[in-house]
Structure 1
Amino acid sequence: MTDKADLPIDPPITDLPIDTHDAGFYDGFSREVTIPAKIIVSVIIMWAIFFPVSAGETLKVANSTIIATFSSWYIYLVALLVVVCGALALIPQSGRLRIGAPDEKPEFSRFSWFAMLFGAGIGIGMLTYSTGEPLAHFSNNPDIIRGTLEARSAEAVRPAYIYTFLHWGLAAWGTYALVGLAIGYVAYRRDLPLTIRSSLAPIFGQSMSGISGHVVDIVAVVATILGVSVTMGLGVEQFVAGLHRVGMGDWLLADSGTASTAAIVVSLLVLVGASTLSALSGVGRGIKWLSNLNMGLSFALLVLFLVAGSGLLGLTLLATGIWDYLVTLPTNSLLIFEDMGDDVSAALVQWQLDWSVFYWAWWIAFAPFVGMFIARISRGRTIREYIFGVVIVPSLMCFAWMAIVGGTAIDLELSGVAGGAIADAGISDQLFATLSILLSPGLALIVSALVVVLLMTYLVTSVDSAILIINTINGAGEDEGSRRYHILFWGAALAFMVGSMLILGGIDAIRITMIIGALPFSFVVLLMAVAIIKAVVFDLIRKKHGVPTTAQACQEWNGEVSTAD
């Protein structure tokens, strides 16, 4: 028997108390997190509503100064997250560690797990960007800006998919995977609360119970609101475009061709109202039914493009795109364009800000929501299975969508059939424009209506899940205390955030606000990467010396070294 004081390393922390209120309006919630988060979000909304001119000017300045200053930070951070995920999965000792007790089995089958991963963080963006992004890079990418390729030429297709896959591949899902792993590892191995602050306990210990932990959770809530606002903004614009395509009236569009103020207000009332009602009902049969409907309609739409569209070209683009993406990944992941004072370098810098930096900030802002969701469904899996499943499977699904759906749109443009009608349409309307050219008028109307339904179900499930995750963070990892008034507040906050920003300056206003808002949480994500590395390394050391690494083993431990854990 070895005395605990003589051991070279202590057991892990298995208790992180977080004070929550036990009565009244904030029953079950941490007021130190919930109230400041509500104030910050409310101030942003009131600023946009009551001082639109000032807000617009501030966002313009931020776009040209703050965002440009931190662009390299976002790029290097996301590259680091992917490397950390790869290392944890590929190193045999760390890859074998389980997110839970050593003998714990996964809660969900692989099929169910993959199905839920499919719905996490893909839906709205996939519908908007499946045609929009390949077409955008087909028309303008760094090679075209440099003058080495002609825009919208056959030679521009392969480079278009390099950049499309760069933005929707390992970078996105590596960010989500790391955040989810950092949360799930300590929650299920050490019985710490399922919340953001717990992930930093391996570094800061019990101090995360106090003010430092409150700040981390507040930053996570604000980042989640802003990240979900971008998704909602994209969804609302495409929802309005779809309603216009199915003949709901010209009042939906403004003179500029974008969604009118009335259309934005009505859409938000319908979508956020349905999301809030769904959130109030919890994770019952309704949400499960919607998730199944999402899956069915999504795959039906993909099969339609595979059969009626340019399926062979799409599959070819999928294969060549993955190869080109992997070959260029190390270079493109670390490449930062610099303004050298000429038009070409300035255009390259702006392209990177509009695309890569926007995406990296979006993934980071969305990571508290998606990461916590992934953590909740991944208990019992090894680190290797978790990372490979979370990073590779959804990436391949995104690639298939972009290649098959986007490839069809590009083929229609290259063949001259579209005549610019798809490429010149707004990004929210490009999927509907593709359907109108690909299919007969009657069939296009039916499929467009189904896409509108799919958009609505994706928005409802995304927003209601986000509201519940926010309440889980506010409730110190518990969702039993989620009272209806708080659900109503966050639903209304999302509606006002999206509506005010869309009316103020369109999706660009939301994009700029989100990139700035994601900045504080990006530093939390860096600390999460350090924390999960420390947690894993120290657990491997503990295993070597027979010190327990899980909460259950710590409770049963009497100081004797063992190799059972």
Structure 2
Amino acid sequence: MSLFKKIINRINITTIEKRGDHILDQVESIDNQPAVAIATEKSGFYEGFNRIVAMVPKLFIAALVVWVGLSPSAAGELLLSMQNWTTANFAGWYIYITAFYTLVCLVLGIWSRTAHIKLGKADELPEFSMFTWLSMMFGAGIGIGMLTYSTAEPIFHFANNPDTIKGLTNSLNEDNVRNAYKWALLHYGLTPWACYGVVGMSLGYFSYNRGLPLTIRSALQPLFGRAMSGSAGHVVDIVAILATIVGLSVTIGYGVSQLASGFFNISGAQWLVDDSGKPTLVAQLVGLILIISASCLSAMSGLKKGIKWLSNINMGLSVFVIAFFVIFGATFFALQTFFYAIWDYLVALPAMSTTVWSGEGPEPATALQSWQGAWSIFYWAWWIAFAPFVGLFLARVSRGRTIREYVIGAMITPSLICLVWFAFVGATAIDLELSGIAQGTIVNADISAQLFKTINLILSPELAVALSVIIVVLLMTFLVTSADSGILIINTLASGGNQGLKQAKHVIIWGVIFALLIGALLSAGGMDALRSVMIIGALPFSVVMGLMAISLVKTLLSDKAE
């Protein structure tokens, strides 16, 4: 170790040790590298938390809420321009870095040298059953997205995708079905789950195998050593918390919009939607208050009670809804689509994952760039922003699983579950459009209403209302599961990896923060404002994730060589 590095490390250690108002989570040094020691308060309002990590994100969000609240129109316009700048300048980065995450996870899960390494002690058994484990991962990771996008994603790409832009297939035509699913699976297949997977695998290994705190900074300890105990580590965890907040805000925003459409489909109450069929701001805010209140109650009950219970309900209701579409939907068409989609997706994945359209040159270059910015870049930012929350959650529930089990359970199985939703729900919607029954009703509906438009066409009015009630209940449990899991994860990050520290007052504070942020951004520009904040906010954490992947590979190879 260089003299300079020794001096810096000594300064960090001395600074921490002199803070008499803090306690240290001391961890034994490993492989001659100093471990991570995170200072936390021993008394007062922030007892058990690192004051800096807990306070700075709140100040950032408070400033954003005040700014948006004082001038919503100007804020919405500026956020949109910042989003366009980010997309134009960092599209290539988002494309290539997500491909890198996917490659790392698959190689670690396939390669025999790393695949059999367990996240935990060699004799440690998994804490949760396989069904509960998969339910919790799917519910927290992407459950809400399935209810919103199981219809919307295939139907949107059926109308427009890069192949139709290039003139290779025809919009809303039968020859475009396979391409629609190929592009839909790009956004809901291996790549998003790899974003979650690389974070969860890193945190699980460094926490359970190396005894480090269950927090984002621990995954960078092999690269930066003792620096992760001080200000640099604080910055890493703060970036992770901010990414979690913006990612979860977009998810809840889409969820409450669909919740309003669901209640409208059940009740017909006109105050829920405007003349164009979009959910009103009042309806969204009412749904937001309902979900955040329930989430706080669930979060205070902890992981093994509220979240586990809700996750099992989620999976059971999901199976019921899919069974409904198997019976009443376009089942034969869906089965054909399912198997074709797997083949088409796997063949096209390398090209789809690494192609960047710059917009330079003659048409359709500009149209392709616009499509990629609106879809792929938006999605990669979404999954990256969601990754600290879902990844840490996956780490918490995956102790005792091998890396191969983890890759199968956290990447491959959820990808197949997403395809099942796309095949049976989305293919039914496409079949209704192809047959002329829908006559554009589904394609032209607001994204929050497309699922309900589909069930209205395949079921009697009475059954459509009954299924809408079940979907609304499922949507609410997914929303509550995601929100309460997010609150628990934020508290874990802010407390230096303490998994048992809930404290009702901090749960409620974060619930209020989420409600204020989402409400302010919905008022400023609806979902466009939420999307803008997320695409901008995800960028710093994408760098952290890249470093986490490098650190994990380096450490696994080093440990295996011993």
Q: Same fold (TM over 0.5)?
A: yes
In the alignment, what sits opposite 2:390? 370
Q: How does 1:382-393 map to 2 (within 5 A)?
A: 382-393=402-413
8 Å CA contact retained: 1:475, 1:482: no
1:500 and 2:523 equivalent? no
Of the three residues 10, 16, 39, the one matched with 1:19 is 39
SS in 2 for 1:20: strand
8 Å CA contact retained: 1:468, 1:487: yes
- How far the C-alpha of 1:256 sits from its partner, in A, is 3.8
Distance of 1:127 and 1:397 partners within structure 2:
12
8 Å CA contact retained: 1:227, 1:362: yes
Distance of 1:289 and 1:180 partners within structure 2:
22
1:50 and 2:70 equivalent? yes
Of the three residues 321, 326, 335, the one matched with 2:355 is 335
- How far the C-alpha of 1:108 sits from its partner, in A, is 2.7
Of the three residues 213, 227, 230, the one matched with 1:210 is 230
In the alignment, what sits opposite 1:267? 287
Q: Cα distance 1:268–1:446, how it changes in 2: closer, same or farther (>3 A)?
A: same
In the alignment, what sits opposite 1:279? 299
The farther-off stretch of 63-72 and 150-159 is 63-72
- How far the C-alpha of 1:85 sits from its partner, in A, is 1.1
Q: Which runs of 5+ in 2 are unaligned?
A: 1-28
1:474 and 2:472 equivalent? no
CA distances 1:162-199 after superposition (whole Å, capped 9, x unpaired): 00011101101111111101111010001111111111
CA distances 1:59-97 after superposition (whole Å, capped 9, x unpaired): 221132122111110100000011111221222112222
Q: How does 1:465-544 map to 2 (within 5 A)?
A: 465-542=485-562
- How far the C-alpha of 1:506 sits from its partner, in A, is 1.6
Distance of 2:286 and 2:406 partners within structure 1:
40
Distance of 2:305 and 2:358 partners within structure 1:
52
1:308 and 2:328 equivalent? yes
In the alignment, what sits opposite 1:198? 218
- How far the C-alpha of 1:14 sits from its partner, in A, is 8.0
The farther-off stretch of 238-247 and 112-121 is 112-121
1:147 and 2:167 equivalent? yes
The farther-off stretch of 472-481 and 250-259 is 250-259
Distance of 1:84 and 1:202 partners within structure 2:
17
8 Å CA contact retained: 2:72, 2:525: no
Q: How does 1:159-170 map to 2 (within 5 A)?
A: 159-170=179-190
Distance of 1:494 and 1:308 partners within structure 2:
38
Q: Cα distance 1:234–1:158, how it changes in 2: closer, same or farther (>3 A)?
A: same
8 Å CA contact retained: 2:69, 2:520: yes
Distance of 2:495 and 2:187 partners within structure 1:
33
- How far the C-alpha of 1:130 sits from its partner, in A, is 0.1
Q: Cα distance 1:286–1:528, how it changes in 2: closer, same or farther (>3 A)?
A: closer
Q: Cα distance 1:269–1:115, how it changes in 2: closer, same or farther (>3 A)?
A: closer
In the alignment, what sits opposite 2:312? 292
- How far the C-alpha of 1:145 sits from its partner, in A, is 1.3
Distance of 2:90 and 2:97 partners within structure 1:
11
Distance of 1:248 and 1:433 partners within structure 2:
13
Instruction: Kindly provide the amino acid, as one letter, of the partner of residue 372 in structure 1.
Output: L
Q: How does 1:171-186 map to 2 (within 5 A)?
A: 171-186=191-206
- How far the C-alpha of 1:115 sits from its partner, in A, is 2.7
1:69 and 2:89 equivalent? yes
Runs of 4 or more, structure 1, over 6 Å off, are none
Instruction: Kindly provide the amino acid, as one letter, of the partner of residue 262 in structure 1.
Output: V
- What TM-score comes out, normalization by structure 1 length? 0.92
Of the three residues 106, 119, 123, the one matched with 2:143 is 123
- How far the C-alpha of 1:98 sits from its partner, in A, is 1.7
- How far the C-alpha of 1:343 sits from its partner, in A, is 4.4
Instruction: Kindly provide the amino acid, as one letter, of the partner of residue 237 in structure 1.
Output: S
SS in 2 for 1:104: coil
Instruction: Kindly provide the amino acid, as one letter, of the partner of residue 500 in structure 1.
Output: A
- How far the C-alpha of 1:10 sits from its partner, in A, is 7.1
CA distances 1:138-174 after superposition (whole Å, capped 9, x unpaired): 0011111122222100001000000001110110111
- How far the C-alpha of 1:320 sits from its partner, in A, is 0.2
Q: Cα distance 1:286–1:338, how it changes in 2: closer, same or farther (>3 A)?
A: closer
Instruction: Kindly provide the amino acid, as one letter, of the partner of residue 495 in structure 2.
Output: G
Instruction: Kindly provide the amino acid, as one letter, of the partner of residue 200 in structure 1.
Output: L
Q: How does 1:332-481 map to 2 (within 5 A)?
A: 332-481=352-501
CA distances 1:418-450 after superposition (whole Å, capped 9, x unpaired): 111111111110000000001000100110111
8 Å CA contact retained: 2:277, 2:445: no
CA distances 1:254-278 after superposition (whole Å, capped 9, x unpaired): 3443221211221111111111122
CA distances 1:279-305 after superposition (whole Å, capped 9, x unpaired): 223335444332222111111000110
Q: Cα distance 1:382–1:419, how it changes in 2: closer, same or farther (>3 A)?
A: same
The farther-off stretch of 244-253 and 127-136 is 244-253
- How far the C-alpha of 1:307 sits from its partner, in A, is 1.2
Distance of 1:60 and 1:468 partners within structure 2:
30
CA distances 1:26-46 after superposition (whole Å, capped 9, x unpaired): 011000101111111111222
- How far the C-alpha of 1:338 sits from its partner, in A, is 1.8
Q: How many residues align?
A: 534
8 Å CA contact retained: 2:156, 2:443: yes
Distance of 1:64 and 1:458 partners within structure 2:
31
Percent identical pairs in the alignment equals 49
- How far the C-alpha of 1:485 sits from its partner, in A, is 1.9
Distance of 1:109 and 1:442 partners within structure 2:
37
- How far the C-alpha of 1:22 sits from its partner, in A, is 0.7
Distance of 1:10 and 1:35 partners within structure 2:
30
Distance of 1:248 and 1:39 partners within structure 2:
41
CA distances 1:481-530 after superposition (whole Å, capped 9, x unpaired): 33222211111111122112122112121111101000111110011011
Distance of 2:402 and 2:153 partners within structure 1:
34
Q: CA RMSD in A?
A: 1.6
Q: Cα distance 1:199–1:10, how it changes in 2: closer, same or farther (>3 A)?
A: closer
Of the three residues 106, 110, 114, the one matched with 1:86 is 106
Distance of 1:12 and 1:435 partners within structure 2:
61
Instruction: Kindly provide the amino acid, as one letter, of the partner of residue 359 in structure 2.
Output: D
- How far the C-alpha of 1:248 sits from its partner, in A, is 4.8
The farther-off stretch of 497-506 and 68-77 is 497-506
Distance of 2:530 and 2:433 partners within structure 1:
30
SS in 2 for 1:100: coil
Q: Cα distance 1:285–1:89, how it changes in 2: closer, same or farther (>3 A)?
A: closer
